[in-house]
Every structure is written in C-alpha cells, then in structure tokens.
C-alpha cells in the first residue's frame, strides 16, 4: 500500500516507462518540503527491488573524452541487448546552479536509443547534494530495469570520491600529454581505481597514448611496492571509433563476476549503503541546523564574538555543539 507515491507512477516506473522514470527522478531531486515523504517512500520502494545491475563510475579531467567514451560504451551495451542509464555528477552545478557537463556533450546518438536513458547532473545549491541525488537516481533507474548505470564525473573537487562510494566499478579516463597523465590523477584516487583507460589513442596520438599507458603501469607498480596484486588494468582506446569497447566491457565484466564470486561485490554494495547513511546524516544535520532559528542566532552571535576576539574558535565550536546536543546550561 503506497502512502505518498502515486501508485500509477510506481507501477509505470517498474514497467520501465521513461516518462515515469523522468518524473520519479525529478521527485527524488526535489528540494520541496512537501515532496519529502513521497521522495523517501519512493527511494525505499526502489531500494527494495533486487536487481543484478552494475554501477560504473567514470572520472577524468575536463576534456578527457568521458562523455564521448560513455556514449560509445552505452551504444555498445545497448546493441548487446542491455538497458543503459547515464547519470552525471557535475560539481560546478553546486556553485553555478547550471549543469556544464550535461550541456556540453549531449550524447545525441545514444539519446535516441530506446534502451538508453540519459540524465544530466541535478542542480543544487546545497554542497554534497548533487552526488547524493545521483545515488538516489541510480536506485530509481535500477528499479526501472536498467542493467548498467554509467555515472560521469569530472575529476576536480571531491566528486570522484562521492561517485566511487556509489559504484561497483570505478574507471579513470585519461589522455596522453606532457606529464598531465599522472599529475592529473589526484592522490588517493589511484587507490580506489579499478581500471585506467588512456583515451584518444588515434591518429598521431597513438604512440603517445601507448607511452602514457606504460608510464601509468610503472607508476602503479611503484605505488603498490612492486606487488602484482591488486593489478589495475591499464588500456588504450579511441572513443571516436567503437574499436576497443569489446575489451573494455570484457574487463569490467570479468572484474564484476570475480567480485561476485569472492563476495567483494556484496562488501562494496554494503559499503555503499554505509556511505549513503553517513552522507545522509551529514546532509540532514546541515539542513536542520540551517533551518533552526535558535541555533542560527547562537552561531551568528558566536561568530561575532570570535571576530571581536572575545571567544576562541574552539570554545565557540564547543558552545555551539553543546547547544545542539542539548547540553547547554544557558
Ligand atoms: N581524437 C579523439 N578525440 C576525442 C576522443 N574522445 C573524445 N574526443 C574529443 O574530445 C573533446 C572532449 O570530449 P568530451 O567527451 O566532451 O570530454 P569530457 O571528458 O566529457 O569533457 P567534460 O565533460 O567537459 O569534462 C571532444 O571534442 C571530443 O570529440 C577520442 O577518442 N579521440
Ligand atoms: Mg562530459
């Protein structure tokens, strides 16, 4: 018995209806307080649906060719009989309210495929919100029967960490070019990467791409102290052609199948739930704090005292947190 979600909407969503899917994602992206209950119910309903979907995160510097790669991979998968959803996390939309990622490359060919669904990055004024809404959109797409969910994010800011925490396979797309291959990959990213693909291995860049791939392999060997495990595949590819997508998909599938056999897949899914919880707590705490008049007043007062040198930041923070947890004596 549905309490807040229109039964017809959920029924149609389960049938894979695209209009229902778009409406459902709009609902989970909604920031309107009156949508909150329906949104929560919808997410729980969708989460309860067992699927064998695979969530793949794709990150890389601006212009590496992520959208082009995703479009080609998406076409390859659709032609193999799979249903593919594409989502984007664009950290710039947190600040500008506009989706740069979604606007630049529209994946026009993939968009016309019946078994593909493309959703640009949600807009949000709330930091951390865009990535979280994408997590929710993934669940909704899976309930609608999408087999593979591809999530694009640009390799700046914190968005890769967010996308890594919601995917089963995390791929870095890079390109050859003076030094930027390794420099462009931030600390901490390699440790969570499942594969590196050097894109634009075509025309007069083929050799450079191969050299870049071998540099990355050496760097990975060094960073793992020469040990062979975990072995991160490094491949070269041209997203302009459909060549090489067989190999990329085979590599992803093998990884996922192995992870399913060893139980690593389930562990990662359960980590995804944990980070969902942690992020939701932070998100809710922040929005409740921001909406609490008394706390906002206290915060403003403390900030003024700190500015005037009357209160030390640490002492101020303590008073604020005490007030928040109900330990304040005043
Ligand atoms: N030669 C060549 N060009 C490519 C390839 N893949 C992408 N490009 C070109 O590189 C440019 C950037 O491609 P996008 O797919 O928009 O790159 P992106 O990483 O999604 O960029 P942002 O979303 O802005 O971060 C476009 O002009 C593409 O046509 C490739 O395999 N070979
Ligand atoms: Mg793009």
Is residue 302 in a domain?
Answer: no
In the 8-state DSSP scheme, what is residue 123?
P
Domain limits for position 253: 51-262
CATH number at residue 37: 1.20.5
**Ligand 1 atom nearest 70 alpha carbon:** 15
**Ligand 1 atom nearest 237 alpha carbon:** 31
Question: Which helix (DSSP H) or strand (DSSP E) does residue 244 occupy?
Answer: none
The Cα–Cα gap between 265 and 25 comes to 26
The stretch 17-31 carries a mean pLDDT of 91
Task: Give the DSSP letter string of 185-238.
Answer: S-TTTGGG-SEEEEE---GGGHHHHHHHHHHHHHHHHHHTTT--SSPPPEEE--
103 ligand 1 Cβ < 6 A: no
**pLDDT score of 179:** 57
165 and 55 inside one domain: yes
The Cα–Cα gap between 75 and 84 comes to 9
Is pLDDT of 127 > 50?
Answer: no
Is residue 327 in a domain?
Answer: no
15 and 144 inside one domain: no
By alpha-carbon position, which residue is closest to atom 30 of ligand 1?
200
89 and 162 Cβ atoms separated by less than 8 Å: yes
Of 86, 56, 103, nearest to 253 by C-alpha is: 56
Which of 22-36, 41-55, 106-120, 216-230 has the weakest average pLDDT? 216-230
93 ligand 1 Cβ < 6 A: no
By alpha-carbon position, which residue is closest to atom 8 of ligand 1?
65
Give the model confidence (pLDDT) of 252-299 as tens digits: 999 999 999 999 999 999 999 999 999 888 888 888 888 889 999 999
* pLDDT: which is higher, 15 or 218: 15
Is residue 317 in a domain?
Answer: no
62 ligand 1 Cβ < 6 A: yes
18 and 87 inside one domain: no
Is residue 118 in a domain?
Answer: yes
CATH number at residue 117: 3.40.50.300
* pLDDT: which is higher, 254 or 223: 254
71 and 110 Cβ atoms separated by less than 8 Å: yes
Is residue 144 in a domain?
Answer: yes
**pLDDT score of 288:** 85
Which pLDDT band, with edges at 50, 70 and 90, does 124 fall under? low
Q: What total number of domains does the chain contain?
A: 2
116 and 3 inside one domain: no
306 and 300 Cβ atoms separated by less than 8 Å: no
33 and 5 inside one domain: yes
Backbone φ and ψ of 236, nearest 5°:
-110, 155
Compute the mean pLDDT over every residue in the chain, rounded to the nearest whole number: 86
187 and 226 inside one domain: yes
224 and 253 inside one domain: yes
29 and 139 Cβ atoms separated by less than 8 Å: no
Closest ligand to residue 239's CA: 1
**pLDDT score of 2:** 81
Is residue 11 in a domain?
Answer: yes
């Amino acid at each position: 018995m549905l309490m807040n979600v229109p039964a017809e909407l959920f029924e149609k969503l389960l049938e894979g209806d695209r209009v229902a899917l778009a409406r459902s994602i709009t609902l989970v992206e909604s920031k309107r307080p009156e949508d909150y209950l329906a949104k929560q119910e919808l997410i729980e309903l969708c989460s309860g649906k067992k699927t064998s979907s695979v969530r793949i995160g794709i990150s890389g510097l601006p212009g590496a060719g992520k959208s082009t790669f995703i479009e080609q991979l998406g076409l390859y998968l659709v032609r193999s009989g799979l249903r593919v959803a594409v989502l984007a996390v664009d950290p710039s939309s947190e600040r500008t309210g506009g989706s740069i990622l979604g606007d630049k490359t529209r994946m026009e060919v993939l968009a016309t495929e019946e078994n593909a669904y493309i959703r640009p990055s949600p807009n949000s004024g709330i930091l951390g919100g865009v990535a979280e809404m994408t997590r929710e959109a993934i669940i909704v797409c899976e309930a609608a029967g999408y087999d593979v969910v591809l999530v694009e994010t640009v390799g700046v800011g914190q968005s890769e960490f967010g996308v890594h925490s919601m995917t089963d396979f995390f791929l870095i797309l890079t390109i050859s070019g003076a030094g930027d291959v390794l420099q462009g990959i931030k600390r901490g990213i390699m440790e969570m990467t499942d594969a590196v693909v050097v894109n634009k291995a075509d025309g007069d860049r083929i050799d450079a791409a191969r050299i870049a791939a071998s540099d990355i392999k050496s760097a990975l060997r060094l960073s793992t102290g020469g040990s062979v495990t975990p072995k991160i595949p490094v491949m070269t590819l041209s997203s302009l052609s459909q060549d090489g997508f067989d190999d990329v998909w085979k590599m992803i599938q093998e990884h996922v199948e192995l992870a399913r056999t060893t139980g690593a897949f389930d562990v990662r899914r359960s980590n995804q739930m944990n980070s969902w919880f942690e992020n939701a707590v932070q998100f809710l705490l922040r929005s409740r704090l921001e909406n609490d008049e008394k706390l906002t007043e206290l915060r403003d007062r403390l900030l003024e005292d700190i500015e005037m040198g009357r209160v030390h930041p640490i002492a101020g923070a303590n008073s604020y947190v005490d007030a928040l947890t109900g330990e304040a004596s005043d």
